Structure 1
Amino acid sequence: MWSKFSALGVKIVFGMLFITQVYPLIWLVLYSFKTKDEILTGKFLSLPKKFMWSNYSNALEAGHYVRYLMNSLMIALITIVITLILSAMVAYVITRFKWKFSKLVMLVFMIGIMIPMQSTLLPLMIMFKKIHILDTHLSLILPYVAFAIPVAIFILSGFFKTLPRELEESSSIDGASIYLTFFRIILPVIIPPLTTVTILTFIDVWNEYVLASTFISSIDLKTLPFGIYSFFSQHSTNYGIIGAYLILGMLPVMCVYFFLSQKITEGMVAGAIKG
């Protein structure tokens, strides 16, 4: 009897969590098809009297969607590639080699996880202004990589600890160098955690706004989150188009997560169990 009640309680909890996650998405979809008057006077989950597909066409044109999308994709891809290469190398050296300061170096990177990105806004701006990279995509890529690497090292180092030492020993016997062992043998084995790092980094970079709006002033270099402010004016705000723009901005992340969500679980679980 008790097991039935506990199972029912678990179902209720998960049902409530599902509703709290799905409700905002349904609301936003309906929101994006409504006129401004319907949004201001209608109910939250009421169907629009007429589906305003023009909200989406206006969001694409007025919000410079394609231009900002390309900027966001380029910054995200470069950040991911650099993060994967550097974090994999650092995590490999920390966990697979015996040297005096390995634990200290790992501690330094773990401290980096606790530092909020926004707290570095002022010193980064002063630094980038002095080296003349302010208002360039490089001013975003550098801090994005710096803050993505600690999390990536944490995930990858846990996975590296599960790998048998025989991998390096057998390749060493065959005469392979450290670099050949890493790129030819180790990297193919750590695809699951690398996929996890890729998705998490992509989501973080894609949604970041504070640094992007502070360091980038040229319209042509702005990222996708900035486009929403194209629909705000001093006297009016077109909420329907804003909703459509938010949906369009969510689509790339939702697609990436939908197709690769299982890899996140595999990567996290693989690095959580040693043996």
Structure 2
Amino acid sequence: METGRNKIKKTGMYLVLLFWTVVSLFPIYWMFTFSLKNNKEIFGENIIGLPKHWLWSNYEAAFTAGNMGSYFVNSIIVTGFTIALTTIFALMASYALTRLVWKGRKKVNNIFMLGLTVPIHAAILPVFIILRNLHMTNSYQALIIPYVAFALAMAIMISISFLQNIPAELEEAACIDGCSVYGIFFRIICPLMKPALSTIAIFTFLQAWNELMFAVIFISDSKYRTLSVGIQTLSGAYTTEWGPIGAALVIATFPTLIAYTFMSKKIQESLMAGAIKG
């Protein structure tokens, strides 16, 4: 009797999970098929089904007429530098705040954590004025520096919570063996912080890759536009052809899915480590 009930429960659970999987994957499927259709199929003839005619030319239009290739490269440059600088600064700051003893470190930590309370919209005007006075608008650093600044608070919080669970005895043993502070940091701490760094990287990637507000205000030259701004201009220039717009959305979305697919295991390890040790 119990076995029959367990089978029914498992079957129901699998059905619910299957339904949830279909619901979660449907937007990706719809966006991909949307990018390969013409306006007639998109707006009535074939909304959900596979394309009757697979219009790969939509991607060609997005890359050539829409200039998505250049915007894609700009997004990679901005996001790559943002992730690299954020992870380096966060790891160094968290190590200094948790392991090194110096006057005022608690106040400095509180200042960093204040960054979590500052809404990005409230800082647009002062950041724009600073960048304009420094003649840094219409450049990669006009986006990289603000992105790093706003991502740093969360990155430091993640790093500190993970670093506090690393036994200090490891560093003491390395110090006894003659390892310097820099040697301990690079040889002991950095390898053990890989799951936390992966978490920081994916969150920073999502923030920088999808950001629109700063990219619209600080960049007016098409040479430095990112994908999010490029898609906006594409929809304005090709209002009657939605296929290339769907292709541009696929180009902007799939890198995020690929990045999370390869880094999800590290993120889960980081979250589990924090839950168990914390």
TM over 0.5, shorter chain: yes
CA-to-aligned-CA distance 1:161-220 (integer Å, 9 cap, x gap): 111111221122223221221112211221121122112211211111111111011111
Contact 2:35 2:246 in 1 (8 A): yes
1:158 aligns with 2:143: no
Q: Are 1:179 and 2:182 matched, yes or no?
A: yes
User: Does the 8 A contact of 1:160 with 1:271 survive in 2?
Assistant: no
Cα distance change on mapping 1:176 and 1:134 into 2, 3 Å: same
Deviation of the 1:86 alpha carbon: 0.8
Relative distance call for 1:249 and 1:162 in structure 2 (3 A) is same
Higher mean Cα deviation, 198-207 or 36-45? 36-45
Unaligned ranges ≥5, structure 2: none
Q: Residues 38 and 176 of structure 1: is their aligned pair in 2 closer, same or farther, counting only changes over 3 Å?
A: same
Letter in 2 for 1:144: Y
Q: Distance in 2 between matches of 1:125 and 1:222?
A: 16
Does the aligned pair in 2 maintain the 1:62–1:230 contact within 8 Å?
no
The 3 A distance-change label for structure 1 pair 235 and 164 is closer
C-alpha displacement of 1:11: 4.6
Q: Which deviates more, 223-232 or 5-14?
A: 5-14
Give, in whole Å, the separation in 2 of the partners of 1:227 and 1:235.
12
Code of the residue aligned with 2:98 in structure 1: it is: T
1:147 alignment counterpart: 150
Contact 2:41 2:47 in 1 (8 A): no
CA pair 233-71 structure 1, distance change in 2 beyond 3 A = closer
- Cα deviation for residue 227 of structure 1 reads 1.9
Q: How many residues align?
A: 275
Q: Pick from 72, 82, 87: which aligns with 1:84?
A: 87
Note the C-alpha offset of 1:133. 0.8
Q: Residue 210 of structure 1 aligns to which amino acid in structure 2? A: M
Deviations 1:22-41 (A, max 9, x none): 12111111111110122122
Q: Percent identity?
A: 39
C-alpha spacing 1:14/1:110, structure 2 compared with 1 (3 Å): farther
TM-score (normalizing by structure 1)? 0.90
Question: 2:115 is paired with a residue of what secondary structure?
Answer: helix
Is 1:50–2:48 an aligned residue pair?
A: no
Q: 1:228 to 1:270 in 2, by over 3 A?
A: same
C-alpha contact 1:158 1:272 (8 A) present in aligned 2: no
**Which whole-Å CA distance do the structure 2 matches of 1:231 and 1:83 have between them?**
31
Q: AA paired with 1:253?
A: T
Q: How large is the RMSD of aligned CA atoms in angstroms?
A: 2.3
Of the three residues 261, 264, 267, the one matched with 1:264 is: 267
1:91/1:7 CA distance change after superposition, 3 Å: farther
1:232 aligned residue:
235
Aligned match for 2:72, one of 49, 69, 77: 69
The residue type paired with residue 53 of structure 2 is K
- Structure 2 vs 1, CA of residues 224 and 174 (structure 1 numbering), >3 Å: closer, same or farther? same
Bigger mean CA deviation after superposition, 98-107 or 156-165: 98-107
Q: Which amino acid aligns with 1:148?
A: A
The equivalent residue for 1:221 is 224
1:180-259 aligned within 5 A: 180-233=183-236, 236-259=239-262
Contact 2:36 2:56 in 1 (8 A): yes
Q: Which residue of 1 aligns with 2:63?
A: 60
**AA partner of residue 38 (structure 1):** E
Q: Distance in 2 between matches of 1:244 and 1:222?
A: 18
- Cα deviation, 1:119-143, whole Å, max 9, x if unaligned, reads 3111111111111111111110111
Equivalent residue, structure 1, for 2:170: 167
**In the aligned structure 1, how far is the partner of 2:169 from the partner of 2:238?**
69
TM-score, normalising length: structure 2: 0.89
Equivalent position amino acid for 2:186 in 1: F
